[in-house]
Protein backbone atom coordinates (compact mmCIF):
# COMPACT_ATOMS: atom_id res chain seq x y z
CA UNK A 1 0.00 0.00 0.00
CA UNK A 2 1.59 3.24 -1.15
CA UNK A 3 0.91 6.76 0.13
CA UNK A 4 -2.50 7.59 -1.30
CA UNK A 5 -6.09 7.81 -0.13
CA UNK A 6 -7.37 4.42 0.93
CA UNK A 7 -11.12 4.29 1.44
CA UNK A 8 -12.75 1.34 3.15
CA UNK A 9 -14.04 -0.15 -0.10
CA UNK A 10 -10.73 0.30 -1.90
CA UNK A 11 -8.90 -1.30 1.01
CA UNK A 12 -11.27 -4.27 0.98
CA UNK A 13 -10.87 -4.76 -2.77
CA UNK A 14 -7.07 -4.62 -2.56
CA UNK A 15 -6.99 -7.05 0.38
CA UNK A 16 -9.36 -9.47 -1.31
CA UNK A 17 -7.07 -9.61 -4.35
CA UNK A 18 -4.00 -10.03 -2.17
CA UNK A 19 -5.56 -12.88 -0.19
CA UNK A 20 -6.64 -14.60 -3.40
CA UNK A 21 -3.07 -14.47 -4.70
CA UNK A 22 -1.93 -16.17 -1.50
CA UNK A 23 -4.64 -18.86 -1.79
CA UNK A 24 -6.45 -17.79 1.36
CA UNK A 25 -9.87 -19.41 1.76
CA UNK A 26 -12.77 -16.95 1.95
CA UNK A 27 -10.58 -13.96 1.03
CA UNK A 28 -13.38 -11.39 1.02
CA UNK A 29 -14.84 -12.54 4.33
CA UNK A 30 -11.43 -12.56 6.00
CA UNK A 31 -10.71 -9.08 4.65
CA UNK A 32 -13.99 -7.77 6.07
CA UNK A 33 -13.54 -9.40 9.48
CA UNK A 34 -9.98 -8.13 9.86
CA UNK A 35 -10.77 -4.61 8.69
CA UNK A 36 -13.80 -4.37 10.99
CA UNK A 37 -11.56 -5.52 13.84
CA UNK A 38 -8.88 -2.95 12.99
CA UNK A 39 -11.47 -0.16 12.85
CA UNK A 40 -13.36 -1.35 15.97
CA UNK A 41 -16.59 -1.46 14.02
CA UNK A 42 -19.12 -3.96 12.66
CA UNK A 43 -18.81 -5.55 9.23
CA UNK A 44 -22.06 -4.00 8.02
CA UNK A 45 -20.67 -0.56 8.81
CA UNK A 46 -17.84 -1.14 6.36
CA UNK A 47 -20.43 -0.80 3.61
CA UNK A 48 -22.51 1.98 5.12
CA UNK A 49 -19.23 3.94 5.35
CA UNK A 50 -17.57 2.48 2.27
CA UNK A 51 -16.13 5.78 1.03
CA UNK A 52 -14.58 6.75 4.37
CA UNK A 53 -10.77 7.16 4.18
CA UNK A 54 -8.61 5.23 6.62
CA UNK A 55 -6.32 7.18 8.91
CA UNK A 56 -2.60 6.39 8.81
CA UNK A 57 -2.67 4.50 12.11
CA UNK A 58 -5.73 2.48 11.05
CA UNK A 59 -3.99 1.54 7.82
CA UNK A 60 -0.84 0.56 9.69
CA UNK A 61 -2.82 -1.61 12.11
CA UNK A 62 -4.73 -3.29 9.30
CA UNK A 63 -1.56 -3.92 7.33
CA UNK A 64 -0.10 -5.82 10.29
CA UNK A 65 -3.23 -8.01 10.38
CA UNK A 66 -2.95 -8.68 6.65
CA UNK A 67 0.63 -9.83 7.07
CA UNK A 68 -0.35 -12.25 9.83
CA UNK A 69 -3.16 -13.72 7.71
CA UNK A 70 -0.87 -14.14 4.70
CA UNK A 71 1.35 -16.23 6.97
CA UNK A 72 -1.81 -18.35 7.41
CA UNK A 73 -2.47 -17.48 11.03
CA UNK A 74 -6.18 -18.20 11.63
CA UNK A 75 -8.49 -15.19 11.69
CA UNK A 76 -9.88 -16.30 15.06
CA UNK A 77 -6.42 -16.06 16.65
CA UNK A 78 -5.72 -12.73 15.00
CA UNK A 79 -8.87 -11.09 16.34
CA UNK A 80 -8.88 -13.18 19.53
CA UNK A 81 -12.43 -14.52 19.35
CA UNK A 82 -14.76 -16.98 17.67
CA UNK A 83 -18.53 -17.38 17.78
CA UNK A 84 -19.87 -20.77 18.85
CA UNK A 85 -23.51 -21.56 19.62
CA UNK A 86 -24.21 -17.80 19.42
CA UNK A 87 -21.66 -17.25 22.21
CA UNK A 88 -18.76 -14.92 21.56
CA UNK A 89 -15.73 -16.85 22.83
CA UNK A 90 -12.19 -15.71 23.48
CA UNK A 91 -9.63 -17.91 21.72
CA UNK A 92 -5.84 -17.96 21.43
CA UNK A 93 -3.20 -20.52 20.39
CA UNK A 94 -3.59 -22.29 23.74
CA UNK A 95 -6.97 -23.67 22.60
CA UNK A 96 -8.51 -25.27 19.55
CA UNK A 97 -10.74 -22.98 17.50
CA UNK A 98 -14.38 -24.16 17.90
CA UNK A 99 -15.82 -25.65 14.70
CA UNK A 100 -19.40 -25.61 13.40
CA UNK A 101 -19.50 -29.42 13.40
CA UNK A 102 -18.96 -29.42 17.15
CA UNK A 103 -22.33 -27.71 17.49
CA UNK A 104 -23.76 -31.07 16.34
CA UNK A 105 -22.21 -32.58 19.47
CA UNK A 106 -23.90 -29.93 21.61
CA UNK A 107 -27.23 -30.58 19.89
CA UNK A 108 -26.97 -34.30 20.54
CA UNK A 109 -26.32 -33.76 24.25
CA UNK A 110 -29.10 -31.20 24.63
CA UNK A 111 -31.54 -33.72 23.19
CA UNK A 112 -31.07 -35.94 26.24
CA UNK A 113 -30.45 -33.46 29.07
CA UNK A 114 -33.71 -33.03 30.97
CA UNK A 115 -34.68 -29.44 31.66
CA UNK A 116 -35.79 -30.03 35.22
CA UNK A 117 -33.68 -32.91 36.57
CA UNK A 118 -30.44 -32.59 38.51
CA UNK A 119 -27.55 -34.01 36.47
CA UNK A 120 -23.78 -34.12 36.72
CA UNK A 121 -22.30 -33.30 33.31
CA UNK A 122 -18.58 -33.61 32.51
CA UNK A 123 -16.66 -32.14 29.58
CA UNK A 124 -13.27 -33.78 29.02
CA UNK A 125 -10.63 -31.71 27.23
CA UNK A 126 -12.68 -28.54 27.45
CA UNK A 127 -10.22 -26.21 25.68
CA UNK A 128 -11.95 -22.85 25.23
CA UNK A 129 -14.94 -24.18 27.15
CA UNK A 130 -17.14 -24.00 24.06
CA UNK A 131 -19.08 -27.22 24.67
CA UNK A 132 -19.67 -26.91 28.40
CA UNK A 133 -20.55 -23.22 28.09
CA UNK A 134 -23.15 -23.96 25.42
CA UNK A 135 -24.65 -26.73 27.57
CA UNK A 136 -24.70 -24.63 30.74
CA UNK A 137 -26.21 -21.72 28.84
CA UNK A 138 -29.04 -23.89 27.48
CA UNK A 139 -29.68 -26.09 30.53
CA UNK A 140 -29.18 -24.06 33.72
CA UNK A 141 -29.68 -25.82 37.03
CA UNK A 142 -27.47 -28.83 36.44
CA UNK A 143 -23.93 -29.36 37.77
CA UNK A 144 -21.29 -28.82 35.10
CA UNK A 145 -17.63 -29.86 35.28
CA UNK A 146 -14.88 -29.19 32.74
CA UNK A 147 -11.40 -30.75 32.68
CA UNK A 148 -8.30 -29.94 30.66
CA UNK A 149 -4.67 -30.96 31.03
CA UNK A 150 -3.57 -27.43 30.09
CA UNK A 151 -3.80 -24.72 32.72
CA UNK A 152 -3.41 -22.16 29.93
CA UNK A 153 -6.50 -23.57 28.22
CA UNK A 154 -8.43 -23.50 31.50
CA UNK A 155 -7.53 -19.83 31.90
CA UNK A 156 -9.22 -19.16 28.54
CA UNK A 157 -12.24 -21.29 29.49
CA UNK A 158 -12.67 -19.51 32.82
CA UNK A 159 -12.53 -16.11 31.13
CA UNK A 160 -15.18 -17.25 28.67
CA UNK A 161 -17.39 -18.42 31.52
CA UNK A 162 -17.03 -15.03 33.21
CA UNK A 163 -17.74 -13.33 29.90
CA UNK A 164 -21.15 -15.01 29.76
CA UNK A 165 -22.02 -15.00 33.44
CA UNK A 166 -21.53 -18.75 33.80
CA UNK A 167 -18.54 -18.84 36.14
CA UNK A 168 -20.66 -20.09 39.05
CA UNK A 169 -22.35 -22.77 36.96
CA UNK A 170 -19.17 -24.61 35.91
CA UNK A 171 -16.36 -26.15 37.95
CA UNK A 172 -13.08 -26.09 36.01
CA UNK A 173 -10.45 -28.67 36.93
CA UNK A 174 -6.90 -29.28 35.74
CA UNK A 175 -5.88 -32.82 34.92
CA UNK A 176 -5.25 -35.39 32.20
CA UNK A 177 -8.70 -36.71 31.28
CA UNK A 178 -10.31 -38.38 34.33
CA UNK A 179 -7.41 -37.41 36.60
CA UNK A 180 -9.11 -34.03 36.91
CA UNK A 181 -12.19 -35.47 38.62
CA UNK A 182 -10.73 -38.46 40.43
CA UNK A 183 -10.72 -36.72 43.80
CA UNK A 184 -14.32 -35.55 43.44
CA UNK A 185 -15.60 -39.10 43.90
CA UNK A 186 -18.57 -38.29 41.69
CA UNK A 187 -20.39 -40.18 39.00
CA UNK A 188 -21.75 -38.42 35.97
CA UNK A 189 -24.99 -38.69 34.06
CA UNK A 190 -23.30 -37.43 30.90
CA UNK A 191 -19.69 -37.34 29.75
CA UNK A 192 -18.99 -35.33 26.63
CA UNK A 193 -15.74 -34.76 24.75
CA UNK A 194 -14.26 -33.52 21.51
CA UNK A 195 -11.00 -35.45 21.91
CA UNK A 196 -8.01 -35.35 19.56
CA UNK A 197 -8.92 -37.79 16.77
CA UNK A 198 -6.63 -36.98 13.84
CA UNK A 199 -4.04 -39.69 13.05
CA UNK A 200 -0.52 -38.42 13.69
CA UNK A 201 0.65 -38.93 10.11
CA UNK A 202 -2.23 -36.82 8.74
CA UNK A 203 -1.52 -33.67 10.73
CA UNK A 204 1.25 -32.40 8.46
CA UNK A 205 -1.18 -32.58 5.54
CA UNK A 206 -3.77 -30.34 7.18
CA UNK A 207 -4.13 -26.70 6.20
CA UNK A 208 -1.34 -24.44 7.53
CA UNK A 209 -3.92 -22.68 9.71
CA UNK A 210 -4.39 -25.92 11.64
CA UNK A 211 -1.04 -27.70 11.35
CA UNK A 212 1.11 -24.66 12.15
CA UNK A 213 -1.01 -22.79 14.68
CA UNK A 214 -3.50 -24.91 16.61
CA UNK A 215 -2.31 -26.85 19.69
CA UNK A 216 -0.91 -30.22 18.61
CA UNK A 217 -2.10 -32.02 21.74
CA UNK A 218 -5.71 -31.10 20.91
CA UNK A 219 -5.39 -32.59 17.41
CA UNK A 220 -3.10 -35.62 17.59
CA UNK A 221 -5.04 -38.81 18.28
CA UNK A 222 -2.11 -41.16 17.84
CA UNK A 223 -1.32 -43.70 15.11
CA UNK A 224 -4.90 -44.17 13.92
CA UNK A 225 -6.48 -41.23 15.72
CA UNK A 226 -8.26 -43.27 18.38
CA UNK A 227 -5.89 -43.20 21.38
CA UNK A 228 -7.96 -40.72 23.39
CA UNK A 229 -11.29 -42.16 22.22
CA UNK A 230 -10.28 -45.65 23.37
CA UNK A 231 -9.11 -44.37 26.73
CA UNK A 232 -12.30 -42.44 27.40
CA UNK A 233 -14.58 -45.33 26.42
CA UNK A 234 -12.60 -47.86 28.47
CA UNK A 235 -12.31 -45.66 31.57
CA UNK A 236 -15.71 -43.93 31.62
CA UNK A 237 -17.67 -46.81 33.25
CA UNK A 238 -15.87 -46.01 36.51
CA UNK A 239 -17.29 -42.48 36.38
CA UNK A 240 -20.79 -42.96 34.95
CA UNK A 241 -24.05 -43.54 36.79
CA UNK A 242 -26.17 -46.51 35.74
CA UNK A 243 -27.27 -45.91 32.14
CA UNK A 244 -25.12 -42.80 31.98
CA UNK A 245 -24.19 -41.63 28.50
CA UNK A 246 -21.03 -40.72 26.61
CA UNK A 247 -21.03 -38.31 23.66
CA UNK A 248 -17.90 -38.07 21.50
CA UNK A 249 -17.00 -36.12 18.40
CA UNK A 250 -15.18 -38.42 15.98
CA UNK A 251 -13.49 -38.43 12.58
CA UNK A 252 -15.73 -39.06 9.58
CA UNK A 253 -14.19 -42.53 8.98
CA UNK A 254 -13.93 -43.83 12.55
CA UNK A 255 -17.45 -45.05 13.22
CA UNK A 256 -16.90 -48.77 12.57
CA UNK A 257 -13.74 -49.04 14.68
CA UNK A 258 -15.42 -47.30 17.61
CA UNK A 259 -18.51 -49.48 17.25
CA UNK A 260 -16.30 -52.59 17.33
CA UNK A 261 -14.43 -51.35 20.41
CA UNK A 262 -17.66 -50.60 22.22
CA UNK A 263 -19.09 -54.03 21.40
CA UNK A 264 -15.94 -55.86 22.52
CA UNK A 265 -15.88 -54.09 25.88
CA UNK A 266 -19.37 -55.34 26.66
CA UNK A 267 -20.05 -52.41 28.99
CA UNK A 268 -22.30 -50.32 26.75
CA UNK A 269 -25.55 -50.46 24.82
CA UNK A 270 -27.45 -48.35 22.30
CA UNK A 271 -24.58 -47.32 20.02
CA UNK A 272 -25.74 -44.35 17.93
CA UNK A 273 -23.76 -42.31 15.40
CA UNK A 274 -25.11 -39.00 14.13
CA UNK A 275 -23.99 -37.05 11.09
CA UNK A 276 -22.83 -33.44 10.91
CA UNK A 277 -24.09 -30.71 8.59
CA UNK A 278 -21.91 -32.12 5.81
CA UNK A 279 -23.53 -35.59 6.15
CA UNK A 280 -20.36 -37.07 7.66
CA UNK A 281 -20.38 -39.37 10.69
CA UNK A 282 -19.49 -37.04 13.55
CA UNK A 283 -21.10 -37.75 16.94
CA UNK A 284 -21.10 -41.07 18.77
CA UNK A 285 -23.53 -41.68 21.62
CA UNK A 286 -23.29 -44.76 23.83
CA UNK A 287 -25.05 -45.73 27.06
CA UNK A 288 -23.62 -47.66 30.00
CA UNK A 289 -25.33 -51.01 30.21
The architecture of the domain spanning 8-71 is Orthogonal Bundle (1.10)
Domain ranges of the chain: 8-71, 85-288
- State yes or no: pLDDT of 2 exceeds 60: no
Q: What pLDDT was estimated at residue 118?
A: 86
- pLDDT digits over 10-39, tens only? 999 999 999 999 999 999 999 999 999 999
**Three-state secondary structure readout of the chain:** CCCCCCEHHHHHHHHHHHHHHCCCCCHHHHHHHHHHHHHCCCHHHHHHCCCCECCHHHHHHHHHHHHHHHCCCCHHHHHCEEEECCEEEECCCCCCCCCCCHHHHHHHHHCCCCCCCCCEEEEECCCCCHHHHHHHHHCCCCEEEEEECCHHHHHHHHHHHHHCCCCCCEEEEECCHHHHCHHHCCCEEEEEECCCCECHHHHHHCCHHHHCCCCHHHCECCCCCCHHHHHHHHHHHHCEEEEEEEEEECCCCCHHHHHHHHHHHCCEEEEEEEECCCCCEEEEEEEEC
Pairing mode, if any, of strands 143-148 and 120-124? Answer: parallel
Calculate mean pLDDT across residues 186-214: 96
Q: What pLDDT was estimated at residue 114?
A: 82
Q: How far apart are CA 180 and CA 154, in angstroms?
A: 12
Calculate mean pLDDT across residues 181-204: 95
Calculate mean pLDDT across residues 233-262: 96
- pLDDT digits over 123-180, tens only? 999 999 999 999 999 999 899 999 999 999 999 999 999 999 999 999 999 999 999 9
Q: What pLDDT was estimated at residue 117?
A: 74
- pLDDT digits over 203-232, tens only? 999 999 999 999 999 999 999 999 999 999
- State yes or no: pLDDT of 3 exceeds 70: no
Please state the pTM of the whole predicted model. 0.91
**Looking at the DSSP assignment, which residues form a beta bridge with residue 84?**
87
**What confidence category does residue 185 fall into, taking pLDDT thresholds of 50, 70 and 90?**
confident
- pLDDT digits over 35-89, tens only? 999 999 999 999 999 999 999 999 999 999 999 999 999 999 999 999 999 999 9
CATH topology of domain 85-288: Rossmann fold (3.40.50)
Amino acid sequence: MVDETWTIIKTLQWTNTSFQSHEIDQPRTDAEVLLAHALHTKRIELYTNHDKPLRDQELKTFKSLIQRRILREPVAYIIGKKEFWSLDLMVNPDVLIPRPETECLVEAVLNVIPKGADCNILDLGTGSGAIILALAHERPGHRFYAVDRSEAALTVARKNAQRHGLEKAITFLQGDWFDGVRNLQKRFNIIVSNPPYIPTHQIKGLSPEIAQYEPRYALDGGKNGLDAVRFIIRTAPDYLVSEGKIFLEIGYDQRSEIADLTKKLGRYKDFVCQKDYGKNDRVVQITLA
